Amino acid sequence: MTEIHANGCRLTDVEALRRIVLARRSARRFLTDPIPAGVLEDVLAITQRAPTGYNLQGWIAIIVTDPAVKIKLRHAAFNQRQVEDAPAVVVFATDTHVARNFENTASHALELGHWSESYANYLRRIIKAVFGREFFGVGNFFRWAGMRSMSFFRPMPMVPLGDIGFAGYGWKQTALAAQNFMLAASAHGLDTCPMEGLDERWVRKAVGLPGHFSVPLIVPVGRTPEPSKLSPRFPPEKIFHRDRYGTKFVGIESLVP
């Protein structure tokens, strides 16, 4: 009998997730064999379920399979060979003009009954203030001032843009999608390699991205001829703390020896 946890998650689900996470590797070499039909599409569908702040979904992914474009991406990634060898390379890009997505988000949420009209109007004011790009806009003032929240609005988690800017905020959202992508690929028996070593300008030029997009990472995907061993991790007591720094969270068993 399958055990049901308090949160409704089946034990078999937990075991499956553990296997998927442990199967993920950062591959440095790829076979040139194409990805089976339908597999990449399913991986991308799972990828899109990643969360984003205010559900603005301010990221896109460009799936590159054209050999000529992959050569350009290899140059943009400082000649790292896995970019050209992999059958596909996914360019994850952040839209720094993310506020333009709000009306589409609101329309969909209202249609499905997820938001009320008053809540949508409230968020509309928040988004304009936080992400407004006018020179004298409130959002720009707070970014310039380095302030971390706008508590004069009713209590609600706000977006800290003071020290990270539009691109930094978007990179956090985009990274969540990239993690979904890598785990979904792992579930399908594919290998990936998250790559931050790149020149954004060259990547944008290679795939035709407008200048208001920022590229935090690219991810080659395919199958590797040489599956690597699990990379080491620090002891859990070095990573996890309870309540405050220095108080170790004990009882966690490392998944990697």
Domains recognised in the chain with CATH numbers: 11-98+166-222 (3.40.109.10), 100-160 (no CATH)
- pLDDT on residue 136: 42
Residues whose CB falls within 8 Å of the CB of residue 103, separated by 6 or more in sequence, listed in order: none
CA distances from 212 to 52, 75, 119, 245 (A): 18, 22, 29, 38
The tens digit of pLDDT for each residue in 22-69 reads 999 899 999 999 999 999 999 999 999 999 999 999 999 999 999 999
Phi, then psi, of 196 in degrees rounded to 5 = -100, -15
Which tokens hold the place of 75? Answer: 């140059």
3-state SS, one letter per residue, for 118-176: HHHHHHHHHHHHHHCCCCCCHHHHHHHHCCCCCCCCCCCCCCCCCCCHHHHHHHHHHHH
The tens digit of pLDDT for each residue in 187-212 reads 999 999 999 999 999 999 999 999 99
Tell me the average pLDDT of the chain.
Answer: 86
The tens digit of pLDDT for each residue in 115-163 reads 999 999 999 988 888 887 654 444 444 444 444 444 444 444 455 454 5
Rounded distance between C-alpha atoms, residue 189 and residue 227, angstroms: 11
Residues whose CB falls within 8 Å of the CB of residue 134, separated by 6 or more in sequence, listed in order: 140
Phi, then psi, of 99 in degrees rounded to 5 = -60, -25
Closest C-alpha among 178, 181, 180, 144 to residue 161 = 144
0.75 exceeded by pTM: yes
